[in-house]
Amino acid sequence: MSEDLIIKKSSISGKGVFANRNFNKGERVIKWPLEKILTKKDVNILPESEKKFLVRDGKKYILMQLPARYVNHSCNANTKPKNNHDIAIRDIKKGDEITSDYSKEDGLDKFKCNCNSYNCRKIIK
């Protein structure tokens, strides 16, 4: 894992990824390790505890690894996924939690949002 990021307790949910330096808008924050590409059959036998770290990309599934697996959802996210990376959509300051808007993902199960942002949608579908 890069020295640019830290994993620690998050006020949003469990663990989170935090900036250990400033990132500029448009900068790559996280590169997704892609060594864990799964088929639907692989997903079916995956332990439930690991399924929350899945991202669907068309017909394939990516089992997110560190640090990407701990990027929490926010309705006011500071990154967006692009070409298997999390890209800053605004300047991110050292100490800020790295977040993404999960509602843009395919095949997402509905869940209660805990982001507490000013524009929180409460339920993400």
CA atoms of 21 and 51, how far apart (whole Å): 30
Residue type, 34: L
Residue 100 lies in a domain: yes
* Number of structural domains in the chain: 1
47: cis peptide before it, omega within 30°?
A: no
CATH of the domain at 113: 2.170.270.10
Residue 91 lies in a domain: yes
Residue pLDDT, tens place only, 49-63: 998 888 887 778 889
pLDDT band with cut points at 50, 70 and 90 for residue 68: very high
Angle at 7 (CA atoms; ends 40, 68), nearest 5 degrees = 30
pLDDT band with cut points at 50, 70 and 90 for residue 9: very high
Of the candidates 34, 54, 33, 35, the residue with the CA atom closest to the CA atom of residue 43: 54
Residue 42 lies in a domain: no
CA atoms of 6 and 71, how far apart (whole Å): 11
Residue 75 lies in a domain: yes
What's the predicted TM-score (pTM) here?
0.89
- Structural domain span for residue 9: 5-32+66-124
Residue 17 lies in a domain: yes
Please check whether residue 86 is in contact with residue 68, taking contact to mean a CB–CB distance below 8 angstroms.
yes
